[in-house]
Amino acid sequence: MAEQMEVNSDIILDILGNDTRRKILVALSDEPMYFNQLAKEVGVGQQAVLRHLQTLEESGLIETYAEKSDLGAPDRKYYRLSDSFILTISLSEDHFSMKKRRIAESRQEESRKYYEAFDSTPEEMGSALYSLQENLSDVEEEISALEARLNDLYSLKQQILNRLHKIGVDNFEENERKILYAIVEESPMSIADLSDMIGEKESRIKDVITVMKSKMDKANAQLLFGNLK
């Protein structure tokens, strides 16, 4: 997959933390617009819209292009969305995560095949629209089913983390728990990895792990900590 400019999750959240910017993105998700159209659609002052458009453009979420005007007027500058992603934020008593996935180019190829199979692309416009409507509702239905199943899995994950945190609080000190959670949740491959993850010196981590091992059966300690090089 070609490397495009990728906007990171923190920046996206900084951007989306503003109501006007969200409105601009919603408007542009219907179609590209030029400035006056956009300002009317969003319904706040032109200066504010201009400022937010600059922020959005700098972030890489939108871009501009020029389109010829009729009647010999100067080219018109249009704004359009320029990134394509799904950001999932999950928050529960035992878990906070943000995950950003691109709507991947390679996968678009796959789904294009899938699409051709279930779209007959009728010639007549009304018929094409009706067919798009039906396809969209099929896709939405499958998305809902998968999201429900994912919801079960997130819930399951939450329960697993809940038990983990309970064992952590009942048996370990604060500094030990940090290491424990990182090992169980992230499966680091080495002490060096672990050191990067939690920002502690390797020697310190080794000492803490020695204490932790002393609290459990030797064979099981080996299972849990044994793969750390």
Site residues for a second copy, 150-209, by CB under 8 A, read: 150-161, 163-165, 167-169, 171, 174, 177-178, 180-181, 183-185, 187
Q: Is the separation of the CB atoms in 226 and 213 below 8 Å?
A: no
Q: d(Cα 205, Cα 191) in Å, to the nearest integer?
A: 7
Applying CB under 8 A, which part among 11-19, 49-57, 64-72, 200-208 lies near a second copy?
A: 11-19
Residue 137 is a binding residue for a second copy (CB under 8 A): yes
* Nearest approach, Cβ of residue 132 and a second copy (Å): 5
Name the CA radius of gyration of the chain, rounded: 25
Structure tokens at 94: 């035992």
* Position among 71, 125, 203, 229 found at the interface with a second copy (CB under 8 A): 125
Question: What are the strands of the beta sheet with 62-67, ordered from one edge?
Answer: 33-34, 76-81, 62-67
**What residues from 101 to 120 belong to the interface with a second copy (CB under 8 A)?**
101, 103-104, 107-108, 110-112, 114-115, 119
Residue 52 is a binding residue for a second copy (CB under 8 A): no
Q: d(Cα 53, Cα 38) in Å, to the nearest integer?
A: 10
Q: Which residue's CB is nearer to a second copy, number 48 or number 143? A: 143
Applying CB under 8 A, which part among 46-54, 69-77, 95-103, 202-210 lies near a second copy?
A: 95-103
* Nearest approach, Cβ of residue 125 and a second copy (Å): 5
Residue 94 is a binding residue for a second copy (CB under 8 A): yes
Residue 66 is a binding residue for a second copy (CB under 8 A): no
Residue 217 is a binding residue for a second copy (CB under 8 A): yes
How many angstroms separate the Cα of 4 from the Cα of each of 53, 74, 102, 105? Answer: 21, 31, 10, 11
Residue 81 is a binding residue for a second copy (CB under 8 A): yes
Q: Is the separation of the CB atoms in 99 and 88 below 8 Å?
A: yes
Residue 214 is a binding residue for a second copy (CB under 8 A): no
* Nearest approach, Cβ of residue 202 and a second copy (Å): 21
DSSP H or E stretch at residue 207? helix 202-213
Would strands 76-81 and 33-34 be described as parallel, antiparallel, or unpaired?
A: antiparallel
Residue written as tokens 């201009």?
A: 50
Q: How many CB atoms lie within 10 A of CB 98?
A: 14
Beta bridge partners of 79: 33, 64
* Nearest approach, Cβ of residue 203 and a second copy (Å): 22
